[in-house]
Structure 1
Amino acid sequence: MCYVRLAARRLRPGLPRLAAFLPVLAMLPFLPLAFRAVHPRVISGFFLAWLAESKLLLLANGQGPLHPSLPLPAFVAVASGPVRLRVEKPAQTSSGLGLVSAAVMAALLAVIVSLYKYEERMNQYILFTLYSFHMYLALELVLASMAAAARTLLGLDLEAQFDRPYISASLGDFWGRRWNLSVPNVLRPCVYRPVRAYLGSAAAGVLASFLVSGLMHELMFSYITLRPPTGEVTAFFALHGACAVAEAWWARHDKWWRPPPLLATPLVLAFVIVTAFWLFFPPLTRPGADKVIIAECEAAIAFLRDAGAWAAGSVRSVWTGRL
């Protein structure tokens, strides 16, 4: 990142800057493979092979959120982290997950992981439902933790990564404004706007964005399974892209019927979950990657439990000694 920042300072946007970035762009997708455990491999893959690659391509074209004038620590954090700088005043920014909310989510995640011991007796769809909640809670906690660390260490003013996706009233609302916001924040300038400007079609921009998202998710799944892509995740996002376009087309007709919010939200969530059962989770469960993820989660929870017990015992010993 030091090299990229220096090159961006010395070279004008366009082909010269892009050519200078190419060695870094070519190297980033391979760095996550240095990790043997699934969680650090896929998390670093998301940060480096998706977010950092996208933001460096934008920087090569002279677009934000990166700028060579940023201090090096902030440049690295914004380039490779699931965060971006806000332009509003700090008083208007969201603080992200609060301590109580984070604690509740962590407790719920621990409960879900503890239920996996009964997976052999579970219906497959119940297990997939648990996987859905597991994925949401884990992403929320990981991304919020990264944002909080950057805010604390670097003084950056950061945006929340999720905005209550469970109240989404449409697919466009779910994917574009509520779920994992760091992804649409890079897909809009990298894919949607160029395609829309070139073809003159918002629908084409949406479809292209979902297609690219599907391809990048294939890469993330390859980091998890260490197997070639199956195409199912791309099909999942292509389907959602087509449905989002159809949904937007329908919404433009004011006189046509549309479900009330109380009905729209469960319909959207049901569609996301059911199609995930069909296309999203099988590439993970088929090679047994879900078992590896569960084992790593159980090991992490056991470590935290033992560490907490040790810390509590140490505090108790010190307190007793003082008395």
Structure 2
Amino acid sequence: MAGGDLRSLALVSTVVTAAMCYVRFAAQRLRPGLPRLAAFLPVLAVLPFLPLAFHAIHPRAISGFFLAWLAESKLLLLAAGQGPLHPSLPLPAFVAVASGPVRLRADKAVQTSSGLGLVSSAVMAALLAVIVYLYRYKEQMNQYLLLTLYSFHVYLALELVLASMAAAARAVLGLDLEPQFDRPYLSSSLRDFWGRRWNLSVPAILRPCVYRPVRAWLGSAPAGVLATFLVSGLVHELMFFYITLRPPTGEATAFFALHGACAVAEAWWARYDRWWRPPPLLATPLVLAFVMVTAFWLFFPPITRPGADKVVIAECEAAIAFLRDAGAWAAGFVRPA
């Protein structure tokens, strides 16, 4: 990041910490419902604007995801007396859970991995570096090969960023955390991919915020699923705005609406035990192919059309060059004379 974005990071971190301290103070003294919601409104109004303080795409998009999606949703749940936040949490833990991809493990007896191991992280970082290197030849690449690399780039970058943030919270605050991904490349269905494997912070928020209220209101699980995917699409439009700084195109909403409809159809088909379904060895590649092909069609164009992907690549190349130079400097510094 440039010096300006480092200053923005310090400013945004200070504002968010102060805002979450205020939220915790208000939640301790006000009952759930309209009193809490009214007290939270100033913070809810400010959070979506904070990512715009950054000039580079990466910090703007990451902070947009953390603040305009996760934090806003968690504060709305807290206003209703629900969700992962509780005013009894220690202040550092409250701030971390409120403003980051940190989910406290509900059942400590459940033995699941709480993040990437060192070896896995190193392998993923190396693969991401290879992908960034291959972008040098993107002008000679087939368009669909390039979009495939973009797909792997999105997964690896999200996995590393979210896992490192959660690991930092675990190391500094001693929190027992749940993992952010669960091997999405092994998904056996769209419901498995979106609900149980991909970016688990998102379904953990969308279930109580959208799915359960809509299901209870309409008495229909499919309506809850469709509403959840629709809201996810609308929020992705906002995430794309943070990336491109251009008005929404509706393509992200169409992408998630399509996947929601297919997930509902998939659940309806699964109710009939005698109907044919693909074996696991075939189901996984079919699911991944469907996700990638529809992403080529609807998900990536709003980013590639204005050239935001080129800026992302340039930022990645600059980051890798910085790490390479820093590593060479460190190696020379510790090398004995």
Which bracket does the TM-score occupy, shorter chain normalised?
over 0.9
Aligned counterpart for 2:119 among listed residues 97, 100, 112: 100
Matched, 1:186 2:195: no
Alignment root-mean-square deviation, CA = 0.8
Unaligned runs of 5+ in 2: 1-19
Q: Contact 1:90 / 1:157 at 8 angstroms: preserved in 2?
A: no
The separation in 1 between residues aligned to 2:263 and 2:90, in whole angstroms, is: 39
Asked if structure 2 preserves the Cα contact closer than 8 Å seen for 1:14 and 1:61, the reply is yes
Q: Tell me which residue corresponds to 2:330.
A: 311
- Which one of the candidate residues 207, 230, 241 is aligned to 1:211? 230
Assess if the C-alpha contact under 8 Å between 1:65 and 1:84 holds in 2: yes
1:247 aligns with 266
Residue 94 of structure 1: CA displacement? 1.7
* CA distance in structure 1 between the aligned counterparts of 2:159 and 2:235, rounded to whole angstroms: 19
Deviations 1:2-30 (A, max 9, x none): 11101101100001100110110011000
Summarize the alignment of residues 65-84 of structure 1 with structure 2, pairs less than 5 Å apart.
Answer: 65-84=84-103
| Alignment-derived partner of residue 232 in structure 1 | 251
- 5 Å matches for 1:116-155? 116-155=135-174
Give aligned pairs, total.
318
Cα deviation 1:263-307 (Å, max 9, x = unaligned): 110000000000000000000000000000000000000000000
Q: 1:28 aligns with which of 47, 50, 69?
A: 47
Q: TM-score, structure 1 length as denominator? A: 0.97
Cα separation, 1, equivalents of 2:206 and 2:55 = 29
3-state SS of the aligned residue for 2:162? helix
Report the Cα distance in structure 1 between the residues aligned to 2:193 and 2:159, rounded to whole angstroms: 15
Structure 1: runs of 5 or more not aligned: none
For 1:63 and 1:212, locate their aligned partners in 2 and report how far apart those are by CA, in whole Å: 19
Name the CA distance, whole Å, in 2 between partners of 1:88 and 1:272.
Answer: 31
* Distance (Å, rounded) in 2 between the aligned partners of 1:90 and 1:21: 34
* Alignment equivalent of 1:40, drawn from 53, 56, 59: 59
TM-score normalised by length of structure 2: 0.93
What SS does the corresponding residue of 2:181 show, helix, strand or coil? coil
Confirm whether residue 56 of structure 1 aligns to residue 75 of structure 2. yes
Q: Distance in 2 between matches of 1:92 and 1:248?
A: 29
Q: Supply the AA of the counterpart residue of 2:275.
A: W
Is this contact kept in 2: 1:93–1:158, CA < 8 A?
Answer: no
Q: Which runs of structure 1 show a deviation greater than 6 angstroms over 4 or more consecutive aligned residues?
A: none
Secondary structure, aligned partner of 1:84: coil
User: Counterpart of 2:58 in structure 1: which amino acid?
Assistant: H
SS of structure 2 residue aligned to 1:270: helix
